[in-house]
Structure 1
Amino acid sequence: MGCGTGKVLPSQNGNENEEKSKRDVSVLQSLVAFAMERDHHEESKKNVSGFFSTKSRRVPAGQTSFRFEKQQEKSGDTYKDKFDARVSSRYRIKALIGRGSFSRVVRAEHRTSRRPFAIKLMEVETPQAREVCAAELAVLRRVHHANVVRLVEVFQCPRRVYVVLELATGGDLLDRVLSRGHYTERDAAQALRMVLAGVGYLHSLAITHRDLKPENLLYYHPGVDSRLLVTDFGLATFGGAETSGRNPSAQSGDINGTSSTWSLRTTCGTPEYMAPELVLRKPYSCAVDMWAVGVIAYIILSGAVPFEDDTQTQLYRSILRGKYGFRGNPWPSVSNPAKDFIRALLESDPGRRLRAEQASRHPWILTAAAGSSARNLHRSISRNLRHRASRNSSRCHSRTTNSAADVRSIAERPAGTLAW
């Protein structure tokens, strides 16, 4: 339920004839933009799932991340702020649960039904804020699906818009993985089936999410039978809908490999989940969401990420190379169909990447991993998450100290000298 603060188009290189120079300059601009917007690292949280928190989100210049407050809500706590009378007469405001540069999210309770809801307060005093609000509402008003967060009602005021949403109380996808003492491939496949249902629905409406990650996949309630919701449409947009199936004859990196509406160019999202075409600042489609689903599948089956490096520049290089492996625990215990599912999504050529409908029909998803091992993966996943959180904490200081120097080093390189 987050909010980006704008959709900023990348600067364009006017020299259309020098394709190599254009590619290198685009990559350079992307690296510098993301590096300059790097959040100041805070001390790693004790909760091992904190490494995959929204703090890691990077967005283009002019955008900031949306941070959820993971804190205990005390009985009787109320969020102190002035609310429009129409809102306060219908809802009892409880506590702040998230904040962004233009918005805040509070937990609320309907005064009559006593049902809990989330209310997003969006400040719309500036043109940029109004644009962000309009874009997000355009998406929320269009969607209605069991696996997509639902818009309940909207209260519009001159300087603020109140957006009432259904409240997901079951924690995010990774929280659920960690909280269970027993976690198998079947559990992962069932979760991904719901993710694919929501993402496929969005794509059918020509909506590209652009920031899919475990933190934006929330369970509606804590029960084992809870539905999983796709949330946070702060970076979502209309466009990039694919109108044909996979094209095996498509050339690697050729954006004409599929018959699509290639209208998306804004570079945004969280780096660890960004598809190669996003890193390269190429025109892209909703296939970027499917790459992110592949990264999510890798994480919830292992507790690790497929692409990881010490610096953002090295991370982007790893993504562009597309090289990852299934080494270490628990991968020897993970079935080949599960690995095949991940490979089909982490396909560098977007034209060969599975679409949501095709991914939902993959044998591993279709059978809910019925033929897979029932071995408990929880211990290995938790160990890997703790190890990664510890590494992140030790690297925190050096990353912050060297950030400005890294940016200057990249920015001072002549165009065409960025070696991969």
Structure 2
Amino acid sequence: MGCGNGKVLPEASKKSYVSVVQSLVAFSKAHDDDEPRKCLEKQKDAWFSTRVKNRQPPSNSQQLILRDGRQQDKVAKYKDKFDPRVTARYDIKALIGRGSFSRVVRVEHRATRQPFAIKMMEVEAPEGREVCASELAVLQRVSHANVIQLIEVFQFPQRVYMVLELATGGELLDRVVSKGHFTERDATQALRMVLTGVGYLHNLGITHRDLKPENLLYYHPGADSRLLVTDFGLATFGGTGTGAEVSDTDMGDCRDQTSWSLRTTCGTPEYMAPEVLLRKPYTCAVDMWALGVITYIVLSGSMPFEDDSRTRLYRSIVRGKYSFHGDPWPSVSNLAKDFIQRLLVLDSATRLTADQAIHHSWVVTMAASSSVRNLHRSISQNLRQRASRSSSRCASSTASSSDANSGDLGKLMSLEKEKKQNRSSIRAEHLD
């Protein structure tokens, strides 16, 4: 697994992909450009791998001085690259993200003083144009309270500037930990917002393909903040019906839209659906699998599928091998477990759709019949343990960006064929 949850990118855009929201809010630049690239994947796992450090941190005053100095240098460096027509409307405040073809800055609208984020994308190179066009096509189509909003776009021959909402309320797991008290009811409140946003996307013909806790951000720090689905760097049209406009309450069923099936292998390994790993045609049901993984994490602080070896990780996923063992699962309701089990279904045709999930009795009743036990302690403890393991792995080994290669997936294809020959069910309970 390397150091964290690195994305597996589409082959055509692997070099140029930049995570929108990791850049906007959760980006943590823990290394310089000339640092050995031994933890290429760790910045994609913001909560788990950047919260724990195996070194003595500098004092608060030293941190502020160093941070301010670096930030001012970066702002000055990249402010000059911005077109005057953009800076005439927006005052650049801080550089908060960078990638192969983009820079993301926090800005203020000069007239309203409202904060936003601007993603500046270089489009001279074909790769940059491709990534920009794909992301922009999705963002220009969406307008929903639970989906990150594109405010406006400045397009020039060499660069495109996307003005986006700036989510300042933190990641989903950060909110879970900071609350100090977390129950199943709290989980359903968050999931209802996510399901509403995902259902809206699916009805527009959009498959996200990289849903995970780091990409679910609160708009503001308040308790009444809406939760936003973000990071559309891997999103695409397809796998979800006709893309016709429908209401939020009329969520469609994407499972039978075979003509819209997708084939590109991409995503974050621990959240990727079995059909993606096996390189089968897939639909928006892959997003629902990811929501099953997310629900498992939110309720326990641990992951249903996890292994240092990508091959073993993929084997566990394609066999649906997970359990509800350990704390806090004995205190989690059967309805909550049923919700997860109906999402982590190997057969995508029987997996819950967004509409079915939001109407599941556990979500509808807001876990009214569930235990009111505070799960916070167990969740936080499991998150800390995983963060410690991730940090230790990053400190002791070099992350391989080629773990998710065709060899691993080829082994899985062979495993799947063998499994079908030897078992009548595609769900295997034990590894050979």
Q: Does 1:337 align with 2:340?
A: no
Change (3 A) 1:407 1:146: closer
Unaligned runs of 5+ in 1: 11-38, 54-70, 244-255
Alignment correspondent of 2:11: 8
Shift in Å, 1:264: 0.9
Percent identical pairs in the alignment equals 65
Alignment correspondent of 1:303: 301
Shift in Å, 1:394: 3.0
Alignment correspondent of 1:183: 182
**Equivalent runs, 1:37-52 vs 2, <5 Å:** 40-41=38-39, 49-51=47-49
Q: Deviations over 1:21-56 (max 9, x none)?
A: xxxxxxxxxxxxxxxxxx7327989x9923399xxx
Q: Distance in 2 between matches of 1:306 and 1:323?
A: 8
Q: Is the 8 A contact 1:52 1:215 kept in 2?
A: no
Alignment correspondent of 1:160: 159
**Equivalent runs, 1:52-63 vs 2, <5 Å:** none
The one of 55, 74, 79 equivalent to 2:75 is: 79
The letter of the residue matching 1:343 is Q
Alignment correspondent of 1:58: none
Change (3 A) 1:329 1:72: farther
Q: Distance in 1 between matches of 2:264 and 2:332?
A: 36
Alignment correspondent of 2:344: 346
Q: Distance in 2 between matches of 1:366 and 1:279?
A: 32
Shift in Å, 1:260: 3.4
Q: Distance in 2 between matches of 1:153 and 1:402?
A: 38
Shift in Å, 1:108: 0.5
**Equivalent runs, 1:108-123 vs 2, <5 Å:** 108-123=107-122
The letter of the residue matching 1:162 is Y
Change (3 A) 1:402 1:197: closer
The letter of the residue matching 2:11 is V
Q: Does 1:261 align with 2:269?
A: no
TM-score, normalised to structure 2, is 0.76
Q: Is the 8 A contact 1:5 1:129 kept in 2?
A: no
**Equivalent runs, 1:222-237 vs 2, <5 Å:** 222-237=221-236
- What is the alpha-carbon root mean square deviation over aligned residues? 3.3
Shift in Å, 1:292: 0.4
Q: Is the 8 A contact 1:42 1:396 kept in 2?
A: no
Alignment correspondent of 1:294: 292
Change (3 A) 1:310 1:234: same
Q: Is the 8 A contact 2:240 2:255 kept in 1?
A: no
Q: Distance in 2 between matches of 1:305 and 1:322?
A: 13
Shift in Å, 1:402: 8.1
Q: Distance in 2 between matches of 1:366 and 1:405?
A: 40
Shift in Å, 1:125: 1.1
After alignment, is 325-334 or 368-377 more displaced?
368-377
Q: Does 1:276 align with 2:296?
A: no
Q: Deviations over 1:149-179 (max 9, x none)?
A: 1110001111111000011000011111111
Q: Distance in 2 between matches of 1:148 and 1:275?
A: 22
The letter of the residue matching 1:333 is S
Secondary structure of 2:367's partner?
coil
Q: Is the 8 A contact 1:294 1:342 kept in 2?
A: yes
Alignment correspondent of 1:102: 101
Secondary structure of 2:303's partner?
coil
Q: Is the 8 A contact 1:6 1:129 kept in 2?
A: no
Alignment correspondent of 1:124: 123
TM-score, normalised to structure 1, is 0.78
Alignment correspondent of 1:312: 310
Shift in Å, 1:100: 2.1
Change (3 A) 1:201 1:52: farther
Shift in Å, 1:404: 7.7
**Equivalent runs, 1:124-143 vs 2, <5 Å:** 124-143=123-142
Q: Distance in 1 between matches of 2:401 and 2:332?
A: 37
Q: Distance in 2 between matches of 1:174 and 1:378?
A: 11
Alignment correspondent of 2:372: 374
Q: Distance in 1 between matches of 2:403 and 2:147?
A: 42
Change (3 A) 1:41 1:338: same
Q: Is the 8 A contact 2:342 2:352 kept in 1?
A: yes
Q: Distance in 2 between matches of 1:319 and 1:349?
A: 12
Q: Distance in 1 between matches of 2:280 and 2:120?
A: 34
Q: Distance in 2 between matches of 1:286 and 1:391?
A: 32
Q: Distance in 2 between matches of 1:279 and 1:321?
A: 11
Q: Is the 8 A contact 1:264 1:285 kept in 2?
A: yes
Secondary structure of 2:11's partner?
coil
The one of 313, 323, 326 equivalent to 2:324 is: 326
Q: Does 1:383 align with 2:381?
A: yes
Q: Is the 8 A contact 1:48 1:386 kept in 2?
A: no
After alignment, is 261-270 or 313-322 more displaced?
261-270
Q: Is the 8 A contact 2:86 2:154 kept in 1?
A: yes
The letter of the residue matching 2:213 is P
Secondary structure of 2:121's partner?
strand
Q: Distance in 1 between matches of 2:207 and 2:350?
A: 18
Shift in Å, 1:101: 1.7
**Equivalent runs, 1:395-406 vs 2, <5 Å:** 395-396=393-394, 399-400=397-398
Secondary structure of 1:132's partner?
helix
The letter of the residue matching 1:131 is E
Q: Distance in 2 between matches of 1:138 and 1:403?
A: 28
Shift in Å, 1:385: 0.8
Alignment correspondent of 2:62: none
Secondary structure of 1:266's partner?
coil
The letter of the residue matching 1:275 is A
Shift in Å, 1:262: 3.9
Secondary structure of 1:162's partner?
strand
Alignment correspondent of 1:362: 360
Alignment correspondent of 1:218: 217
Alignment correspondent of 2:195: 196
Shift in Å, 1:194: 0.4
Shift in Å, 1:400: 2.4
Q: Is the 8 A contact 1:207 1:241 kept in 2?
A: yes
